[in-house]
Structure 1
Amino acid sequence: MDKQSRMELRRKAGYRDLPKPQVKVQSPVYSMSFACCNCKTSNMRQFNLAPCDYPRTIECPVCKGVAVNLGRHFKPPKNSDTAQWKKVEYLIEHGFVFQKIRTIKNSYDSVPYPETLAQAKEFVIKYQQYAAEPPYIKSLKQDK
């Protein structure tokens, strides 16, 4: 008699308990990047919420200022690169929070974000219809 058969006989006789099913606790689906333009830092945060319910701003853990949710695609510049941080701040002030912009419906092609502040100014004018809704922009200016 093989081991599997012996175990089944013991379970039926009540000598062995059935193994309890393992319950997997799911972690959050996404880590979101929160950036603070005051101290030029970026932090990844996870929440046990649906991605659409993630907070738009949190308190910066470094300077206690406002850290803005820039999504999971944001790649922060180096702390010493002030020109890039000025570009990031300019885009945030105008409602661009580094979400993918797709100009063609049902397409995977997205518009690349600008490299410089001068390009960012043109980008804001060209794609202003894709900026975050006005209450989002107002809340950022009030937090500052």
Structure 2
Amino acid sequence: MGAKHVCFACRKAVNVPDGATDPLRCTNCTAELVVLPNRFRPPKQREEDQWATARYLVEHGYCYEHLAPNQFPGWATTKYGNYVQYPVNLWEGKEFVEQYGAFTSRRR
């Protein structure tokens, strides 16, 4: 499947094969890259609000892994199948972190 190396400073993402580790820094701005799964769909570079939301979620431990519906009461199936849809704006992102705080991938 592969992964994405994401630079939040430049607002760019590059597809890389599984197991790829280089580069660890952005070749454009030398900021540290974040490795996210291939299911992360980066916004267009000019969509700063969506990039800010993605950065906020990653900083709070959400690395765009699937969140299964059987973990949540009152689940409604959406066009995204049987998984929770990640938010696209910061307001929804803050609500998402509050609602699904127990399911973060960040180790506590």
TM-score by length of 1: 0.61
**Are the equivalent residues in 1 in contact too, given 2:60–2:106 (CA < 8 A)?**
no
2:100 corresponds to which residue? 127
1:81 corresponds to which residue? 47
- Aligned alpha-carbon RMSD (Å): 2.1
Q: Match for 1:88: what amino acid?
A: A
Instruction: Give the number of aligned pairs.
Output: 98
TM-score by length of 2: 0.80
1:100 corresponds to which residue? 66
2:11 corresponds to which residue? 40
Q: Does the C-alpha gap of structure 1 residues 58 and 103 become closer, same or farther in structure 2, counting only changes over 3 Å?
A: farther
What is the 5 A alignment of 1:3-14?
none
Runs of 4+ residues over 2 Å off in structure 1: none
Provide structure 2 residue ranges, at least 5 long, that are not aligned to the other structure. 72-80
Q: Match for 2:46: what amino acid?
A: S
1:118 corresponds to which residue? 91
User: What secondary structure sits across from 1:44 in the alignment?
Assistant: strand
Provide structure 1 residue ranges, at least 5 long, that are not aligned to the other structure. 1-29, 136-144
**Are the equivalent residues in 1 in contact too, given 2:62–2:106 (CA < 8 A)?**
no
**Cα distance, 1:80 vs structure 2:** 0.8
Residue 33 of structure 2 is aligned with which of 67, 73, 87?
67
User: What secondary structure sits across from 1:70 in the alignment?
Assistant: strand
**Cα distance, 1:60 vs structure 2:** 1.8
Percent identity for Structure 1 against Structure 2: 27
Task: Identify the structure with bigger relative contact order (alpha carbons < 8 Å, sequence gap 6+).
Answer: 2
**Cα distance, 1:134 vs structure 2:** 2.9
Greater helix percent: which structure? 1
